[in-house]
Amino acid sequence: MNIKILAEQLNLSISTVSRALRDSYEISEPTKARVRAMAKQLNYRINPYASSLRRHRSKTIAVLIPEITNNFFSQVINGIEYIAQEKNYHILIYITHEDVRKEIEFAHHLHNGRVDGVLMSVSAETNNYDHLNELMESGVPIVFFDRICESIETSSIITDDFESGFAATEHLFQCGCRRIGFFGLFEHLSISRKRYEGYLAALKKYGINKDDDLIVRSGNDIAANEAAITKVLTSANKPDGAFASIEKMAIASYNVCKRLDIDIPSQLKLISFSNLEISTLLNPSLTTITQPAYEIGKQAAMQLFRYLEKKLYMNRHEKIVLKSSLIPRQSTKKTHSA
């Protein structure tokens, strides 16, 4: 089944049929109707590979993320999918598992025209962005979300990381904490650095000195993370509050507290970044900061389509900053920066 057979059945030329199918203005309405009817009857579908080969565009975008079993990223995908469906685009998923080598491999692969554009959040290990620069230079637009790459000149969607880091720390202070731990990712990630800077700013505002013994940086190894947290929580100068700036560390902290029989919140106040919608529901003693993940996905996809539709040229770029919400343990929702 191909366009040739369809054209023969209709006693029309291939080109006429092709134009009719793409609803070209050059074709009369009756002809279009005939073509559509016959196409339907014969169950004809345009071959996407032939079409893409000819048109040099794939109607496909790639989504590159560090992990998928994470409510934040799956909500983002949901948002992306909403826009992609609207635009009749297809979504290819690539998961790096926080492995730079995989990220590089995917980036290199995508030079081949398989996708028209890329939406991504960089892996925690990544600190050299050559592979992404090359991809951009080869004409594939990239839009970053959340874990962005500041040295690459392109659009990105982020949340108010500094402000929410500040708000989280301030919240702990207002709950009476004076020794506040920070559990986060490596500082070369922009989100980590900014949340950390917010944390530092809040400490400063309330006249608390930073104590490096209360800082834990997450690696990929969960056991190692838990060991590092355990060390902090069992030290002589242990914290009375902690800010887990990524969900992975929140879960690790929770595990450690359980093992050490430390009660949250009476012995340790914990506040964490989390998009696990039901976490506060299941355990109201957790205070969380939630990012508008679905909206982030939508905005990122919309921005990418601006590039694809040439409404925005690749040498122009925009940073879009969305607001996170702080959900205190009373479960009353409020936007911290509203």
Binding mask 35-74 for DNA (x = CB under 7 A): ---------xxxx--xx-xxxx------------------
Part of the chain binding its own copies (CB under 8 A), chosen from 75-83, 233-241, 299-307, 320-328: 75-83
Closer to its own copies by CB, 92 or 152: give it.
92
Q: Which of 8, 14, 151, 283 forms a contact with DNA (CB under 7 A)?
A: 14
152 binds, among DNA, its own copies, none (CB under 5 to 8 A by kind): none
Could you say whether residue 31 binds DNA (CB under 7 A)? Answer: yes
Tokens of 57: 């565009």
Closer to its own copies by CB, 70 or 190: give it.
70
Closer to its own copies by CB, 90 or 317: give it.
90
CB of 130 to its own copies, least distance (A): 13
State the number of binding residues for DNA (CB under 7 A).
29
Is the Cα torsion angle 171, 175, 176, 182 positive or negative in sign? negative
Could you say whether residue 18 binds DNA (CB under 7 A)? Answer: yes
CB of 21 to DNA, least distance (A): 6
CB of 35 to its own copies, least distance (A): 17
Could you say whether residue 13 binds DNA (CB under 7 A)? Answer: yes
Site of interaction with its own copies (CB under 8 A): 43, 45-50, 52-53, 58, 60, 67-71, 74-75, 77-78, 81, 90-93, 95, 108-109, 111-114, 251, 254-255, 258, 276, 278-279, 281-283, 286
Site of interaction with DNA (CB under 7 A): 2-4, 11-16, 18-19, 21-22, 25-29, 31, 44-47, 50-51, 53-56
